[in-house]
Amino acid sequence: MKRQVITIQEDMVIYAPHHGEVWMTVWEIAELLNVTGTAVKNTIKRIWKQSVLKDFQHSQYIKLENGYSAHVYDMEVIIAIALQMDTYQALLFRQWFISKVVNRKDCQAEQVKHEYPMIIVMNGTMPRGAS
């Protein structure tokens, strides 16, 4: 499997979609968001426990180039973790992600005459008044 790791260098998020799908280890996510591996592991456990995402759909074991195996997590897990971290790098990642969603070129939003608000659901609950 060809996988990609996202990094932050000099306040810029480095992401090359042509390099493959994003799958990152706990330690790579920790480095990306400038938190400890323990903080990432605890957040992942909380995500599984709350059934925000399902382990079997968003994580897998892969063989690394060095011959070792590693548990890796997809972009949805990385986003869920970043939404719960309070670091400058997590903020940069969230801003980058939101800009990608809002400014998506292949999105047909420009052709739609009605604007729809974006609602981010956390912990499976919708804000009051949202439908």
Burial class (CB in 10 A: 0-12, 13-18, 19+), 3: middle
Whether 15 is covered by a domain: the verdict is: yes
Q: Is 35 a residue whose pLDDT tops 80? A: yes
Would you place residue 110 in the very low, low, confident or very high pLDDT band (cuts 50, 70, 90)?
very low
Q: Is 109 a residue whose pLDDT tops 50? A: no
pTM to 2 decimal places: 0.74
Q: What pLDDT is stored for residue 104 in this prediction?
A: 67
Q: What pLDDT is stored for residue 11 in this prediction?
A: 80
| Rounded distance between C-alpha atoms, residue 5 and residue 47, angstroms | 21
Range of the structural domain that residue 10 is part of = 3-104
Whether 121 is covered by a domain: the verdict is: no
**How many independent structural domains does the chain possess?**
1
Would you place residue 60 in the very low, low, confident or very high pLDDT band (cuts 50, 70, 90)?
very high
